[in-house]
């Protein structure tokens, strides 16, 4: 299979972690007989420095022409003084809207080897955590009509969802549940919001197409509580833009390590932008200190969700687990008794683990 990937390293540690992720992808390609065709594009501060805008047209065209996008991170102190459309993060918002990426997948996985990083008690974590938050990304209150009165004394933001918007995100969530533990929890506030009642009714309607998936509903306040009380009860969570924003951050912090968590933003054709959830970490950029695992795992998501290459995705994830089990750690996850390695060595070890798997 020939797979065309638009690579957008971005700023700070972006180039460091992307280099390692591509190394591992290359090894997966060799082992499974796929050809990855990587094209590189500028975005964020790097693009501002080169051409004066955070998201050049050439980047948009290149990404559109690819089968998937792999992004490092954008931003940093050199561009903090810029405002409005010149902000580096405009590149992310621009790519999401131009590619119609309405669905955000954020897994929160706690590897048993790193369980000491989890802020919850061991008896709450049990055998580890593996939750997938599916967040609607282009609708709801963040995109509704808003305003403020002339005297500045009152303001409003509106939340609107159409049945079609709910249907398309629900379908992705059910599909994700089918590939995992076949359990889906839809989170809303249907006891108060009319919007949530439409959300719930539509999710139930879509569930008819997925009889194998066990669907439950939960109010958002309860979901926030249950995530720290008993996170093991969740498999896939689907929710609106704002609720998902909050719950996905809560779920990821339970795992305790920002350098480990991948994400995917998808459109209706499974075209996706894959990126680690962390930022550009300017404090450690270029110092061979960044953890490349979140980016490697973002590539595994790309293989699974855009290319439907499940064995290849599993090989990457298994390689990460093996390297962690062998005791190797970058500085952010290093604890006494484990072996400290840099970004490049971590990439080498994961690539080697992919190669030597039976």
Which residue sits closest to ligand NAD, CB atoms considered?
A: 279
Q: Is 281 in the site for ligand NAD (CB under 6 A)?
A: yes
Residue linked to tokens 């700023």? 11
Distance CA 21, CA 25 (A): 6
- Asked if residues 131 and 231 have their Cβ atoms less than 8 Å apart, the reply is yes
Q: Is 273 in the site for ligand NAD (CB under 6 A)?
A: no
From residue 84 to residue 123, the character string flagging contacts with ligand NAD as x (rule: CB under 6 A) and all else as - is: -----x--x-------------------------------
- Binding segment (CB under 6 A) for ligand NAD, from list 56-64, 170-178, 220-228, 279-287: 279-287
Among residues 16, 67, 189, 235, the one annotated as catalytic is: 189
Residue 23 is a catalytic residue = no
How many Å from the N-terminal Cα to the C-terminal Cα in the chain?
21
Residue 221 is a catalytic residue = yes
- Between 190 and 261, whose beta carbon lies closer to ligand NAD? 261
Residue 142 is a catalytic residue = yes
Residue linked to tokens 């990855």? 36
64-98 b/e with 16+ CB inside 10 Å = b?
eebbbbbbbbbbbeebeeeeeeebbebbbebbbee
Q: Nearest approach, Cβ of 125 to ligand NAD (angstroms)? A: 22
Q: Is 258 in the site for ligand NAD (CB under 6 A)?
A: yes
Among residues 142, 183, 345, 355, the one annotated as catalytic is: 142
Q: At what angle do helices 310-325 and 14-32 cross, to 10 degrees?
A: 120
Q: Nearest approach, Cβ of 45 to ligand NAD (angstroms)? A: 8
What are the φ/ψ torsions at residue 60 (nearest 5 degrees)? -60, -45
Contacts of 24 (CB under 8 A, 6+ apart): 296, 299, 316, 319, 347, 350, 351, 354
Distance CA 168, CA 268 (A): 7
Q: Is 284 in the site for ligand NAD (CB under 6 A)?
A: yes
- Asked if residues 219 and 188 have their Cβ atoms less than 8 Å apart, the reply is yes
Q: Is 290 in the site for ligand NAD (CB under 6 A)?
A: yes
Contacts of 159 (CB under 8 A, 6+ apart): 140, 141, 144, 193, 195, 240, 242
Residue 249 is a catalytic residue = yes
- Binding segment (CB under 6 A) for ligand NAD, from list 58-66, 120-128, 172-180, 280-288: 280-288
Residue 305 is a catalytic residue = no
Distance CA 302, CA 313 (A): 8
Q: Is 298 in the site for ligand NAD (CB under 6 A)?
A: no
- Binding segment (CB under 6 A) for ligand NAD, from list 32-40, 203-211, 218-226, 281-289: 281-289
Q: Is 240 in the site for ligand NAD (CB under 6 A)?
A: no
Q: Is 257 in the site for ligand NAD (CB under 6 A)?
A: no
- Between 37 and 49, whose beta carbon lies closer to ligand NAD? 49
Give SS3 for 324: helix
With CB under 6 A as the contact rule, the residue among 49, 205, 249, 283 that binds ligand NAD is: 283
With CB under 6 A as the contact rule, the residue among 22, 28, 63, 73 that binds ligand NAD is: 73
- Between 164 and 283, whose beta carbon lies closer to ligand NAD? 283
> In this structure, what token pair is assigned to residue 246?
């909050």
- Binding segment (CB under 6 A) for ligand NAD, from list 19-27, 116-124, 284-292, 310-318: 284-292
What are the φ/ψ torsions at residue 41 (nearest 5 degrees)? -135, 155
- Binding segment (CB under 6 A) for ligand NAD, from list 130-138, 161-169, 196-204, 273-281: 273-281
> In this structure, what token pair is assigned to residue 79?
């561009």
Residues in binding contact with ligand NAD, number by CB under 6 A: 22
**Radius of gyration from C-alpha coordinates of the chain:** 20
Residue linked to tokens 């590149």? 91
Q: Is 249 in the site for ligand NAD (CB under 6 A)?
A: no
Residues that bind ligand NAD (CB under 6 A): 13, 17, 73-76, 89, 92, 258-259, 275, 278-284, 290-291, 294, 332
Report the catalytic residues: 142, 189, 221, 245, 249
């Amino acid at each position: 299979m020939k797979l065309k990937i638009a690579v957008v390293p971005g700023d700070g540690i972006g180039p460091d972690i992307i280099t390692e992720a591509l190394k591992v992808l290359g090894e997966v390609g060799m082992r499974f007989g796929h050809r990855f065709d990587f094209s590189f594009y500028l975005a964020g501060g790097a693009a501002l420095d080169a051409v004066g805008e955070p998201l050049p047209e050439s980047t948009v065209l290149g990404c559109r022409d690819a089968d998937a996008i792999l992004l490092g991170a954008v931003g940093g102190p050199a561009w903090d003084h810029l405002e409005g459309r010149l902000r580096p993060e405009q590149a992310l918002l621009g790519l999401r809207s131009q590619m119609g990426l309405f669905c955000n997948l954020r897994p929160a996985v706690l590897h048993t080897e790193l369980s000491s990083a989890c802020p919850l008690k061991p008896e709450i974590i049990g055998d580890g955590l593996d939750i997938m938050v599916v967040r609607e990304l282009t609708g709801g209150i963040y995109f509704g009509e808003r305003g403020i009165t002339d005297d500045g004394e009152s303001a409003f933001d509106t939340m609107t969802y159409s049945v079609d918007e709910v249907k398309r995100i629900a379908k992705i969530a059910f599909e994700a549940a089918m590939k995992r533990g076949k359990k889906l929890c839809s989170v809303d506030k249907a006891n108060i919001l009319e919007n949530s009642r439409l959300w719930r009714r539509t999710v139930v309607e879509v569930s008819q197409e997925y009889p194998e998936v066990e669907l439950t509903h939960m109010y958002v306040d309860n979901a926030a509580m249950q995530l720290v009380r008993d996170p093991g009860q969740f498999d896939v969570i689907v929710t609106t833009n704002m609720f998902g924003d909050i719950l996905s951050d809560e779920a990821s912090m339970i795992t305790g390590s920002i350098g480990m968590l991948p994400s995917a933003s998808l459109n209706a054709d499974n075209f996706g932008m894959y990126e680690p959830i962390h930022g550009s970490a300017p404090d450690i950029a270029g110092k061979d200190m960044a953890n490349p695992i979140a980016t490697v795992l973002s590539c595994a998501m790309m293989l699974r969700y855009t290319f439907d290459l499940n064995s290849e995705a599993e090989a990457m994830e298994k390689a990460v687990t093996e390297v962690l089990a062998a005791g190797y750690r970058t500085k952010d996850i290093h604890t006494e008794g484990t072996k400290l390695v840099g970004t490049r060595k971590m990439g080498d070890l994961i690539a080697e683990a992919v190669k030597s798997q039976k």
